[in-house]
A and B are shown apart, each in its own frame.
Chain A
Amino acid sequence: MNSVGKSWLLLTGLIVFYIIYLLFGALVFSTIERPVEEQLRRDMDALKQEFLNQSCVSAASLENFLVRVLTANKYGVSALRNSSVTSNWDLASSMFFANTLVTTVGYGHTTPLSDTGKVFSIVYALIGVPFTMLVLTACVQRIMYPLVIAPVCLLQRSGLEPRPATVVHFLLLLVLVVLCFFLMPAAVFSAVEVSWSFLDGLYFSFISLCTIGLGDFVPGMQPRQKYRPLYQVAVMVYLFVGLMMMYLLLRTFHKMSDLHGLTSFLQLPRCEDSDMEEEREPIVHEDSRTANNVTEKAASKPLDPGSQPSYNTINKG
């Protein structure tokens, strides 16, 4: 089978497998969560009934009231008495919000209410997201040498073959990242946040560092949180460094799979380190004809590793 046909086949296979994976996830989530939801709904109804029974409030006015409370709550404004007076939009919180915007985590615990805010969010995100990606990968590029290449060389010098050396190093790095960026912060969060358990902290760390950012747990949102601005800035720094480490992990994994031949097997573009040779070629000033030929050649061979721009990692998550 020629290269193009093979790539299409692989893609279709991938899509089918992906759909199956989603269905599987849907089934499992459904089975786990649905009973709990039912129970909560029944509890809510009972609560409302109880409230209505013992008071002079009519169902309609209660509904009305509840709808307004919920609308306000959706925007982060609490109707409770003991909610803190601190705004969700003071400087530190706004910076936290801007950070969730550009790292694409997007918790959603506070969202822009005004129309102007929405327009500004769009523009800010469109510029900020590529910008952040640039910074993160530039940083990863710099720390790649001391954290990956040097240790691998060290391992090789101590007698291991290149391939096992990379595997060993990757596993070590993985253990280190999990320890420092998942387990430790989880412990810290469960200590600082009153209502979070260790599992909640771990869940939060994972959901944030994969930039999923569901928003069911957000640090620093409790009323009367001590040193709230400092706490939020610290969480921002943690997010940024953690994201960087995730990129690093992915990059190392990609280089490793390059070495082990996985990427060419799956017809994926290679890590661009292997293209250093081409980069050193002199950039010839081609005339228009040859440039066109090159484009067409590149266009007709989509997944040929040699002609495609390479990926250093596939996904930031």
Chain B
Amino acid sequence: VAAPDLLDPKSATHNTKPRLSFSTKPITLTPREESEMVATVMKWKTVTAIFLLVVLYLVMGAAVFRSLEQPHESAQRLAILSQKLEFLSKHSCVNQSQLEELVKQVVSAIRSGVNPAGTLTNHSSLWDLSSAFFFAGTVITTIGFGNTSPHTEGGRIFCIVYALLGIPLFGFLLAGVGDQLGTIFGKGIAKVEKMFVHWDISQTKIRVISTLLFVLFGCLLFVALPAAIFKHIEGWSALESLYFVVITLTTIGFGDFVAGGSEIEYLDYYKPVVWFWILVGLAYFAAILSMIGDWLRVISKRTKEEVGEIRAHAAEWTANVSAEFKETRRRVSVEIYDKFQRAASIKRKLSSELGFSPAPELTLPRRTVSVNFNDERDKIERDAGLQGLTTPLTRNGGLYMNGLDPERGDISIIEHLK
């Protein structure tokens, strides 16, 4: 398969949410030359870690396969050996070496693609034009079933040259098809999202839902439907059909099950339709895989972002709290000042009424109080106030001694300060 790009730098710039990408490109991490040189040590560690993970994954798979398959294999082996013995005992005129020879010949014939079971006449060639076309297709897409393979030297050399030119060609084609597919789906999803916007659901939810819809619809069209068709035409079980679909569309292509490879009578257009399905299905799978990759990349980017955002928010919050605190202190001190002034004036009144001379009062440190309701002057005073926070400013009738009003968007000041 054209290897999907799971980590694409472009997606980072376009969105804060995962973008649906339908490209068929291999995965890359951004080549940041300068930072690469600086952080080379860490990156090698990451690669080694991932590599070890892959090895672990392989070993795990090997263990599971062994435990699942070995009993079956032993059973098969026993069965065929007993078959052989039974045959030999039933037909006493055949000695073992003759049988061995026959079996060896038969097996090598099968390897060459000729099935000796059955009669000669009703065999269709494995290399008639339509089958050869199918074989060429499997080579180019790198699926490589292997149920037919070239056996002549000339055939093999030609195969090499053919693949050398054809695989990049198919790669381009897949890229183009993937793009068109992606555009179609992208438009459809944009329309769906437009519908949902009226319902006032969050953007992320819409995006997630639309992605799921895309995946499900694609699965239905490219996986479930063909599997059902194969089950019906080829006579496989449901699991075998699904297995064939997945193994083919990931371009693994074992060849134990091949659509159009059995001895059934096929309709004329069956093989070309299968080939077309492979083409589009490959594009779909590549799109899915690159979408997963996009998500991975955006998740890693978003995590970084969010961590950064959290830090920024925390700093903001701390600044807010300290501003509030300072303000409360000032407000309290102003209130005390106010009360003191009032007490002093009452005292004066009383004393004047009673004929006492004004007593020396405790004077609070002088503060200039300026009342202004003009934002511009506010700003200027605010800026001026930044230098020395002792200058009180008033706004909207209130007294704020340090000029920072959290309710009025002093975040910007805090940002400016930062």
Contacts and interface: CB of A to CB of B under 8 A. Distances in A.
A32 B171 contact: no
A64 to B, nearest CB: 9
Contacts of A106: 143-144, 247, 251-255
B152 A294 contact: no
Contact of A213 (B12, B144, B293): B144
Given A111-B256, A203-B159, A215-B255, A129 B26 contact: no
A114 B72 contact: yes
A132 interface: yes
A273 B256 contact: no
A283 B13 contact: yes
Contact of A47 (B105, B111, B158): B105
Contacts of A158: none
A144 interface: yes
Contact of B80 (A27, A43, A77): A77
A264 interface: no
Nearest to B2: A315
- What's the dominant secondary structure at chain B's contact region? helix
B17 interface: yes
A281 interface: yes
Nearest to A126: B246
A92 to B, nearest CB: 8
Contacts of A112: 65, 68-69
Interface residues of A, number: 155
Contact of A117 (B69, B110, B255): B69
Contacts of B190: 292, 295-296, 299
Interface in A286-317: 286, 288, 291-292, 294-296, 298-300, 302-303, 308-317
Interface string A272-287: 1101101101010110
A176 interface: no
Interface string A93-117: 0110111111011111001111111
A10 interface: yes
A279 B290 CA distance: 19
Interface in B1-46: 1-17, 19, 21, 23-33, 36, 43-44, 46
Contacts of B107: 69-70, 73, 78-80
Contact of A104 (B24, B46, B51, B250): B250
Nearest to A42: B120
Given A311-B5, A311-B175, A94 B63 contact: yes
The 10 A-B pairs of least Cβ separation, nearest first, read A315-B171, A311-B25, A106-B252, A212-B144, A25-B136, A215-B146, A299-B186, A95-B62, A108-B254, A314-B171
B99 to A, nearest CB: 9
A222 interface: no
Contacts of A303: 179
Residue with the greatest number of chain A CB neighbours at <10 A, chosen from B80, B129, B144, B182: B144
A165 interface: no
Contacts of B239: 115, 118-119
B172 interface: yes
A130 interface: yes
B156 A75 contact: no
A57 B91 contact: yes
B120 A45 contact: yes
A158 B31 CA distance: 25
How many chain B residues sit at the interface, stated as a range, is 35 or more
A89 B72 CA distance: 10
Contacts, number: 507
Interface stretch (B160-168, B313-321, B378-386): B160-168
Interface string A111-145: 11111111111101110111111111111111011
Given A122-B243, A128-B57, A213-B253, A142 B47 contact: yes
B214 to A, nearest CB: 13
A144 B106 contact: no
A84 to B, nearest CB: 11
B139 A40 contact: no
B334 to A, nearest CB: 38
A23 B132 CA distance: 9
Contact of A133 (B27, B146, B152): B27
29 contacts: A18-B169, A28-B162, A40-B114, A47-B105, A63-B117, A63-B118, A70-B115, A73-B107, A74-B110, A75-B256, A101-B252, A104-B250, A107-B146, A108-B145, A111-B254, A117-B69, A125-B246, A131-B54, A133-B3, A133-B6, A136-B3, A206-B163, A207-B160, A268-B172, A269-B175, A279-B9, A309-B5, A309-B23, A315-B24
Contact of A37 (B3, B30, B46, B127): B127
B180 A302 contact: yes
A94 to B, nearest CB: 4
Contacts of B91: 55-57, 61
A276 B1 CA distance: 27
Interface string A50-75: 01001111000101011111101111
B146 A216 contact: yes
B112 interface: yes
A315 B174 contact: yes
A192 interface: no
B333 interface: no
Given A11-B177, A113-B73, A133-B6, A33 B144 contact: no
Contact of A101 (B61, B152, B169, B187): B61
Interface string A194-209: 0000011011001100
A190 interface: no
A104 B142 CA distance: 9
A51 B106 CA distance: 12
Nearest to B245: A122
